[in-house]
Amino acid sequence: MRHSLSQKKFVSNNNGFTLIELVIVTTLLGVLSLSALSSLKAFKDNSEATICEVNRRQLELIYQTELLVQPELDSTTFILKYSKEIFCPRGGGYSLLNDRVTCSLHEDKSSYHIE
């Protein structure tokens, strides 16, 4: 049985992936990983903003509670006292104005306010 030359070449090249196939697969994996990383970054940013909001609410509650005990409590002293324990996960600074705790990095998106 005789094989033609073109059949032998086709059979001998069929034992692996071609360079273009490897480049295409690598490119597709790169695109998929970039989209996953951008989704993870957005998730992380949203999580940090939520943690910051919860921390601000907690500080407002603590401030209101301490005002019942110490009516002359200074807001700056209060923020300095708790800034080591309760802080923004991105490193923003908290300040207290009109019984509202604000962050220098995150804006307050909630309508939550202690009366």
Domain assignment of residue 84, yes or no: yes
Cβ neighbours of residue 83 closer than 8 Å, sequence gap 6 or more:
93, 94
Residue 111 maps to a domain? no
Instruction: Dig out the tokens for 8 from the structure.
Output: 């032998």
pLDDT tens digits along 48-83: 999 999 999 999 999 999 999 999 988 888 999 998
The position carrying tokens 């480049």 is 23
- Has this prediction a pTM greater than 0.75? no
Into how many domains does the chain fold? 1
Query: Could you give the CA distance from residue 78 to residue 37 in angstroms, rounded to a whole number?
Result: 39
71 in any annotated domain: yes
CA of residue 25 relative to chain centroid, distance: 29
Is 109 within the bounds of a domain?
no
Task: Decide: 88 and 94 in contact? Cβ < 8 Å.
Answer: yes
Please check whether residue 86 lies inside any domain of the structure: yes
Distance of alpha carbon 106 from alpha carbon 26, whole angstroms: 38
Residues spanned by the domain of 87:
17-103
